[in-house]
Amino acid sequence: MNEQLKFLVELQEIDTSILDITEKIESLPEKLKHYRIPLKKAESAFEKAKARSEALNKKKKDKDIQLDETLDKIAKLKDRSSEIKTNKEYEAHLREIESVERSRRGIEDEILSLMEEMEKFSLELRQEEMKLREVENEFKRQEQALEEEKKKLYAEIEALKRKREEYAARIDEEYYNRYMNLLRRAGGLAVVRTKNEVCLGCNTNIPPQLYNDIRKNEDIYTCYYCKRFLYYREEEPAAASGGEAREAPPVS
């Protein structure tokens, strides 16, 4: 293969790998969103249970105050018993005490009911808190794993950049400038394979004689339509490279 063409192909493969890794890095926040969904659900469930528990606690405190006020009223009514002079007044006084006593019993029943409900929601709150902690821990694990993946990907990019510098230095300035202009204009693809008399960058047919010349890889040729550098490879390696690694947009 023509040496300059070989360097161009290798440079394209490196740049394609850098672009692919960059896309992976950019996709990492989206991956983290996936793990944030169950976290938000767990947080919402916990907050609802917590709000319900707090509301019950407040209601019980209010009832405790109401009970204390009722007991105080009963005590004061009983203290007044010695001041009553007539049977009629005494009977009315007893009815008033009994009425307040009924209220006391009603409040006590409400407090008992609230305590049972509070116990139930206290258990639910603990369960929701445990679920939240589990989901938080899982989110932190995934966040850390993605952070480690990001570091690894950045390290791969740095290694590729060093390798890129080596190949870029071997390419003639004219070809390199054309390559870089194409890379920017052609969506990251400046060098593409040919196959069956077709440019795999823009899917344009290549004249038979030109295709035969391209197959030899002895000189540098470009597509008359998209202007990309063309080369021929008999068999594709297991990992796609060069022009077929990415979908090639037309060159404007």
What is the pLDDT averaged over residues 79-102?
84
Q: Given a cut of 90, is residue 31 above it in pLDDT?
A: no
Which stretch of 15-19, 46-50, 173-177 has the lowest confidence by average pLDDT? 46-50
Highest mean pLDDT among 84-88, 111-115, 151-155 belongs to: 151-155
Domains annotated for the chain, with CATH where assigned, are 20-168 (1.10.287.1490), 173-244 (no CATH)
Quick one: pLDDT at residue 212? 95
Quick one: pLDDT at residue 97? 83
DSSP string, the chain: --HHHHHHHHHHHHHHHHHHHHHHHHHHHHHHHHHHHHHHHHHHHHHHHHHHHHHHHHHHHHHHHHHHHHHHHHHHHHHGGGG--SHHHHHHHHHHHHHHHHHHHHHHHHHHHHHHHHHHHHHHHHHHHHHHHHHHHHHHHHHHHHHHHHHHHHHHHHHHHHHHHHHHTTS-HHHHHHHHHHHHHTTT-SEEEEETTEETTT--B--HHHHHHHHHTSS-EE-TTT--EEEE-SS--SS--GGGSSPPPPP-
Please give the model's pTM, rounded to 2 decimal places.
0.65
pLDDT digits (tens, 9 = 90+) for 219-239: 999 999 999 999 999 865 544
Q: Given a cut of 90, is residue 122 above it in pLDDT?
A: no
Which stretch of 68-72, 88-92, 106-110, 143-147 has the lowest confidence by average pLDDT? 88-92
Q: Given a cut of 70, is residue 50 above it in pLDDT?
A: yes
Q: Given a cut of 70, is residue 171 above it in pLDDT?
A: yes
